[in-house]
Structures are given as C-alpha cells and as structure tokens.
A and B are shown apart, each in its own frame.
Chain A
C-alpha cells in the first residue's frame, strides 16, 4: 500500500500511462515525428528574417539586423500597400463568393429528387477538382485569348463586340481568379457539407413538418442549421490562409499588364526573395503573413467558441 501512494504523483502517472498504452503511442510515432521534424524543428529558421542572411556564411555567420527587412517591406510604398490591398481584396472576394458557393450547392443537391440525376450532376461537379492548377490556368488562357479564344469568339460573332483582352485588363483579374476557383472547387467542397446534411437527425424534419414547416422553412431551419458546425470550422480554417492567397494560380495568370490587381504579397516575395535570392527578405514577409493569419485564426476561434458550440479548439 505504501508503494501505491508513493507512485501516485503526476510524473509517475505519466510514465505508467506511457507504458500501459505503449502500442498506441508507437502507432502515433511516425505522424508525430513528421510534425516535429518538418514543422517544428525548422522554426529556428525564422531567425534569418532578422538577419542579413547569406548562404555562404550560414545562420551563425550572418549579421543580425533586427527589423530592417520589415521596415523595407512597408517603405516600398506605394507598392507595398498596393500588394497588401490586392491580397486582402482577393481574400475578401474569396470569402464572399467562394466560401458560400459549396453551401448553396449542397443545399440544392439535397433537394434533387431523382437519384440518378443527382448522382450524375454530383459526379460531374467533382471532375474539375482533379485538374491541376497548371492545367486550369492553361484552359483559362486558351479560353480568354483575344484571337483564338472561345469567349471572344462568342462576343464577336454573336454580340458583334470588339474582342476583349481579359487577361490584360486589371479590372477583370479578380473575376477571373474567383470564377475559376469556384468552378474548380465548388463540387468537391459540397462533399463535406453533404456529409453534415446527412448527419442531421431525421426526427427533426418530422418535428418541423408537424409544426407546419413547408419545404423551404425546413431547409432553412433544419438543414441549414445542421451545416453550421461544419461552416464554422471551415471558416476558421480559411481565415488562417488569409494572407496566403492562391499563389500558384496567380503566378500562372498574372503578367505586367494586370499587376495593378494581380500582384499579391506572395508573388512579390517570389520575385524578390527567390529570383533575386534575397532569402532574409522573403522570410521576413512570410513571417509577417503567418503572424497575421495566426492572429486571425485565434480571434475567429475565440468568437466561435463564445457564440456557438463549435470551434477548432
């Protein structure tokens, strides 16, 4: 009995749990190792954001310069404010249009009566998800070409207008970007929401019908409400990506003619940081983006926890 009392302290309990469930911890080891080695250990590299890093001298040989790179980024005005504006605007449009699209589509899918038709439309809508960004950008460039593109062909032949050079006009870029994002991702995005809809208790529908709800009221008060937890989680996750707007597609679709709206923080950093090999600058800007994304996620999660039962943590 003396033994058991001595070994009830916290540290001993932890060791005992580890030994008792050692199989489970062993199972988790590869995943945990992956996170430690690839996500946490490289964090020491953030130091190069505060140095004048040169590959030859390494981290310990490079000079420490404090926040010089951050100041340089913000004093690149007026361009840096244009970059931030473009990044934020693309994200706002993304949240405004791209985020609700799978929700609406899932609701509409749920209302299709004919099973075969429903399955056909769903399968077709999943297809664009599997095309890679490069292929989509290629399709966009081909469709929007002022001489050989299908869009301009219709405009000229059917409506008698002049061919429009869509990819050369800054005002069209956001539409093209968000439109292609929606086209590619709306089908696949409905999967999660359809799973949430399927998880709604059927007795809720019956109760609503008893209370006299018609089809649209049922949709609004039962189906939609059942999707809210998934919406909150995905929204919070989306906010974490706020500053990292889809770099690949922008890189493929932008050109000096539409830099006005298409140049975002990441593309600028790509030109300065990778092409000019200015690693410290690129890291500094990347750090700035990550911090903002992190703050947004924490705030959003706080709000989600306060006003609903669902939150990320």
Chain B
C-alpha cells in the first residue's frame, strides 16, 4: 500500500531542496571567487569585473608567490608542525581513551 504524502510534506521537500542549493552556493561561492580572482588579471579584479569566472587568465600572482623563498620556509614549518602534532596527539589520546572507556566495566577482559 503506497502511503500518499501530504502536500505540506512535498512543499517542505521542495523548499528544503531550494534552501540546500542556496546553502551549497553560499559555501562554494567565496572559494570559487577567490580561485578565479587569483588566476585573473589584477586590473580586472580590482575594477570588480571578476564575478564568478576568471577573466584574462594570468598566472602572475602565482609566479610571485612561488619565487618568494619565505613561502617555502613557512610551508615546511607548517608540514613539520602538523605531522608531529597529529602523530603525537593521536597516540596520546588513543592511549588515554582506551582505559577510560573500560572504566565502567568490572573485569579486564570483558567490556559492555
């Protein structure tokens, strides 16, 4: 037996879908814009002509970035901090979580 959905339920589904599309657009747009602005010609960005898609592709910004030695030093530092931090945190918290999880149980071997 097929249960008929009320029109209120279908209206809710439609509104929800629209809302979700708007949400996805709102989340994606700033990132897409920043990406487009980074590959566009600087003058076009400043004059506000780049809205969504890049105009007059130019990789000048990336050139300046890549040839700047400070960037690579910072990047290497970031990688070092992140790797060591993640590894140590994971080990310490996992080690600490296991006995704490067994806290409520009576015997060693079994656990609820």
Contacts and interface: CB of A to CB of B under 8 A. Distances in A.
Interface in A1-44: 21, 24-25, 27-28, 30-32, 34
Interface string B35-49: 001000000011110
B96 interface: yes
B20 A150 contact: no
B26 A113 contact: no
17 contacts: A28-B95, A31-B92, A31-B93, A105-B23, A108-B16, A111-B12, A111-B16, A121-B21, A121-B24, A124-B23, A124-B24, A127-B31, A128-B30, A139-B30, A139-B34, A147-B46, A216-B8
Contact of A111 (B8, B13, B37, B100): B13
| 6 residue pairs, one from A and one from B, having the closest CB atoms | A31-B96, A24-B99, A153-B48, A27-B95, A124-B24, A30-B92
A117 to B, nearest CB: 7
Contacts of A259: none
Contacts of A21: 99, 108
B12 A215 contact: yes
A214 B20 contact: no
Nearest to B31: A127
A125 interface: yes
Nearest to B13: A113
A143 B20 contact: no
A193 to B, nearest CB: 16
Contact of B28 (A30, A124, A153, A216): A124
Interface residues of A, number: 35
B61 to A, nearest CB: 13
A32 B99 CA distance: 12
Given A117-B17, A215-B9, A125 B24 contact: yes
A166 to B, nearest CB: 15
A142 B33 CA distance: 11
B45 A148 contact: yes
Nearest to A214: B6
A254 interface: no
B20 A117 contact: yes
B99 A150 contact: no
Given A28-B95, A105-B23, 13 more contacts: A108-B19, A111-B13, A121-B20, A124-B23, A125-B23, A127-B27, A128-B27, A128-B31, A131-B31, A150-B51, A183-B26, A187-B27, A214-B6
Nearest to A128: B27
A153 B37 CA distance: 15
A228 to B, nearest CB: 22
Nearest to A153: B48
A60 interface: no
Nearest to A131: B31
Contacts of B34: 139, 142
A120 interface: yes
A148 B37 CA distance: 12
Contacts of B33: 150
Contact of B95 (A30, A125, A148): A30
B104 to A, nearest CB: 13
A281 B34 CA distance: 41
Interface in A81-110: 105, 108
A299 to B, nearest CB: 27
A108 B22 CA distance: 13
Nearest to B30: A139
A277 interface: no
A112 interface: yes
Contacts of B48: 148-150, 153
A208 to B, nearest CB: 14
Interface in B65-112: 91-93, 95-96, 98-100, 102, 108
